[in-house]
Amino acid sequence: MNRAESSHGEWQLHIDWTRCDGRGVCTELLPGVLGRDDWGFPLTRDHRDPVVGTDRIAAARDAVDLCPRLALRLDRTRRT
Ligand code: SF4
């Protein structure tokens, strides 16, 4: 997959909670997608992987790349 492919469609941001240690880099890069708790851990709506639209995909890719614990992954949304 290359960056050009990632600009189309919607993606879901998956957080590996076994790796995340709450430094909050992702919440700073994606304020409209992720909230942040008092300890710096990301908060997601209904505890589901948040959907990332095309307008936020660049920031989401940055969050994946910059997560110090390699805890983030982007997956294509599944349409049913
Ligand atoms: S950047 Fe990574 S380690 Fe830090 S809060 Fe986000 S998912 Fe967790």
Instruction: Please report which confidence band the pLDDT of residue 8 belongs to, taking 50, 70 and 90 as the band edges.
Output: low
pTM assigned to the model: 0.84
Q: Which of 71, 69, 64, 78 lies closest to 3, judged by CA?
A: 64
The mean of the pLDDT values for the chain is 88
Asked whether the beta carbons of 74 and 14 are under 8 A apart, the reply is: yes
C-beta of 20 in contact with ligand 1 (< 6 A): yes
C-beta of 15 in contact with ligand 1 (< 6 A): yes
Atom of ligand 1 nearest to the CA of 27: 6
Across residues 31-47, what is the average pLDDT? Answer: 91
Please give the single-letter amino acid code of residue 7: S
C-beta of 23 in contact with ligand 1 (< 6 A): yes
Instruction: Please report which confidence band the pLDDT of residue 6 belongs to, taking 50, 70 and 90 as the band edges.
Output: very low
Across residues 51-59, what is the average pLDDT? Answer: 93
* E strand or H helix that includes residue 11: strand 11-15
**CB within 8 Å of 40: residues ≥ 6 apart:** 22, 23, 24, 27
pLDDT > 50? residue 4? no
pLDDT > 50? residue 38? yes
Predicted local distance difference test score (pLDDT) of residue 45? 82
